[in-house]
Amino acid sequence: MADEAGESESARRFTAIYDACRQRVWAYAVSRAGHQVADEVVSETFAVAWRRRDDVPEPALPWLLGVARNVLRDNYRAQARREAFDTELRRWSRSAERDVAEGVAERLAVLRAMATLSEDDREILILVAWEGLSPRDAARVVGCSPAALRVRLHRARKRLLRAVDEPAAGAAPAVRARVGITSEELS
């Protein structure tokens, strides 16, 4: 019985907070994201407040605005992820329009050329080209300075392109584009 009284008091406190602050939280959300998003932000903010109703301080408004700010930030991040996914999907669909055999031949040429390189060259190329690390981060992995890694990367790319040029000259331009070397860099 005592728990029910505590729950009803907690629910009454939440209702009072909601009534006192809902409009100001909505106005904050509108000022940050517009009318279309504001209702969703208010709903999510007060859902968090309901779940954590015993943690809501007095006065509640600053805490609620902080929660609304976090909800907005999470919405922006989710939107950015959706846009990145859409962009990637469009890129994949454009590359799927290419001849599949052409892509397989390019990949095979790169893999064969990679097999001829030293382990150090392969590691640097994989870290930068396939793992997407920056030269600074790749330098940390291999234990050298970023400047030294850039030199090693440049040399590894040149050796890779020479290896690609040897057995299958037809694949070289496409592979050059993938490896990120221009013809000026080879001279």
- The domain limits of the chain are 2-94, 100-186
Residue 142 pLDDT greater than 80, yes or no = yes
Residues 6+ apart with CB under 8 A from 151: none
Confidence of residue 182 (pLDDT cuts 50, 70, 90): very low
| pLDDT-wise least confident of 85-94, 126-135, 157-166, 167-176 | 167-176
Is the peptide bond prior to 59 cis by the omega test (within 30 degrees of 0)? yes
Q: Is pLDDT of 87 > 80?
A: yes
Burial 17-31 (b: 16+ CB within 10 A, else e): bbeebeeebbebbbe
pLDDT over 90 at 1, yes or no:
no
Q: In this predicted model, what pLDDT tens digit does every residue of 46-60 receive, in sequence order?
A: 999 999 988 888 898
| Global confidence as pTM | 0.46
User: What does CATH list as the number for 100-186?
Assistant: 1.10.10.10
Q: Which of 82, 81, 75 has its CA nearest to residue 44?
A: 75
CA-based nearest residue to 50, from 27, 23, 22, 18: 18
Residues 104-118 pLDDT 10s: 777 788 888 888 888
Rg (CA), the chain: 28
6 vs 13, 53, 180, CA distance in Å? 10, 12, 66
- Output the CATH code of domain 2-94: 1.10.1740
> What letter represents residue 33's amino acid?
A
Region 54-74: what's the mean pLDDT?
90
